Amino acid sequence: MRKASLYFFLAFPFFAWAQQGWMPLGRIVDAPYSALMRSSKSDVALHSSIRPYAREDLKLLVVPDSLLPNAWKPWLDSITNPQNRISGGPLVEALVGASFGDNELMKYRVGLGGWLDWSATSRLTFHVDVMGFGETMPNYLDSLAIKVDVTPGEGFAYGGPTYTHHDWNAYVDYKASKYFHFTLGRGKHFFGEGVRSLFLSDNAYSYPYLKITTTAWKIRYVNLFSAMSDIRGTGGTWNQFDLKFTSMHYLSWNALKRLNVSIFEAIVWQDNDPNYRRGFDVNYLNPVLFYRPTEFSLGSPDNALLGFAVNVRVGKHALLYSQLMFDEFLLSNVRAGEGWFGNKQGLQLGVVGHDAFKIEGLMLRAEFDYVRPFMYTHSDTRQNYAHFNQPLAHPYGSNFWEAIAQGEFRKKRLVLSDLLSVAMLGEDTGSTAYSSYGNNLFLPESARPLRDGVRPDDYGYFLAQPSSAILYHNELRAGWLLEPRSGLMLEASLTTRVRTPERGEGLVSNFFRIGISANLRDRHPFQDARYSLE
């Protein structure tokens, strides 16, 4: 029986097929492709800011099959080969470690699942992956789970202090023509070149979506329609989740060989008004119209956001990137400098270099993110820019700045990385009415302090007020890839975290763990329990 199973797996290559579909949304898997897309050596100008990557794009790169090493066993390499008509593999996590300074020293994380791709035809592709987890977390993540009821990006946190949660993703992708891809599924997306995105990141939990990807000339245009969930007060009971919808556009234009200009826009509206069930608003189905005029034509009931990005390739292996995000904007109030609450903007500046100092496989990055108070909030909290109790963009939400330094070295199956983040976080005075200084995405804008005992104060809202906290977070990681196409690897990591608030006691965490990890998607340990949803 064992021999028959082995022969079956090894027979997969005979069903070779030029697979369509999408790469996993995980940097352990797609980082080598990002590096080549950004290189001036690449003869084709692809759209590296739109993730997950289309597999058909990777065929245009120079020897794409050589970017990832072979799996540690031939049979594992065989069954995961994306050129097979059917491919798949196991997803396993078994990590044990210690969190020094916590009440309970020993921590663990176990997970089990798998993934499967099927190219039914040359144009039709199916994908599914699923994992279930059980874990105990260091104090700072345990505090987050208690306050917002979720594990970062991986679902509702059932139980505690031992938490169980699960994650599953799936899609069906159809290539309708040379120019169009239609994808219906459940998963995550990322728009941007940075570690963070101020547009849309993979920080929150997976969600149902319909994606239309149009590619023509030097332009790629993504229409993303999604169903999000507000899960406050539901205890994880899925049929009690409040439904809201998002409709997003992302246009990426390779204006010059080294210059990319992108535009992002999003609209969020809720469907849980007991007096009026809106459903999916057909006004936002127009694939070419800017949402802001449409939103104004509807009486401006919804939450609209607009962003711009400029990315420049420098030298042979470097990229300068930026994002500018607007929730609201009045130039006169910006110039006045009085801290108007409606000045909701975010800025990202960064540089990333590959094969740095002529060392093959070395990536270095520096990034700065700045987000003003009240960014991503709304007068109706059901329409905030969040899903499953987590921000859809930066994990710190709003009212902060963050500086990031990152280094990563790869050689064959070896991955060494270090990610350092230093941030200043604004802290509200509480989670009740009239206590919001723009930190909590789940408080309405009207929760600002009162200026005359009656009306909320409109001015005086600056970054890191009324008090602040400095957050130092560093993760050093070493891994040995067992199966590079799904990110399965042996790893050891050391996390050092120091939180120093202006008010209250500080918190120091040193968290070490070792074992086998599944990295089909990125995990997000850089979190902070900035507010409570109780």
Q: Which helix (H) or strand (E) holds 499?
A: strand 488-501
Q: pLDDT value at position 435?
A: 81
Distance CA 333, CA 520 (A): 45
CB distance 158 to 150 below 8 Å: no
Q: Which pair of tokens denotes residue 348?
A: 């990202």
pLDDT digits 0-9 by tens, 144-189: 999 999 999 999 999 989 999 999 999 999 999 989 999 999 999 9
Distance CA 499, CA 144 (A): 14
Region of 399 on the Ramachandran plot (φ > 0 left; ψ -120 to 50 alpha; else beta): left
Question: Going by C-beta distance under 8 Å and a sequence separation of 6 or more, which residues neighbour residue 442?
Answer: 232, 381, 384, 386, 389, 531, 533
Q: pLDDT value at position 7?
A: 38
What domains lie within the chain, and their CATH numbers? 2-517 (2.40.160.130)
Distance CA 534, CA 121 (A): 49
Q: pLDDT value at position 516?
A: 98
DSSP, collapsed to helix, strand or coil, labels residue 29 as helix
In 361-443, the DSSP E strands lie at 362-371, 386-387, 390-391, 400-411, 414-427
SS3 sequence of 62-91: CCHHHCCCCCCCHHHHHHCCCCECEEEEEE
Residue 106 to residues 68, 162, 376, Cα–Cα distance (Å): 34, 12, 37
- Main-chain phi, psi angles of 32, to 5 degrees: -60, -35
**Angle at the Cα of 106 from the Cα atoms of 103 and 111, rounded to 5 degrees:** 125
Query: DSSP letter string over 279-296?
Result: -S-GGGG-SSS-HHHHHH
Q: pLDDT value at position 301?
A: 73
Residues of the chain with pLDDT under 70: 1-19, 41-44, 62-66, 272-283, 286, 288-300, 430-433, 534
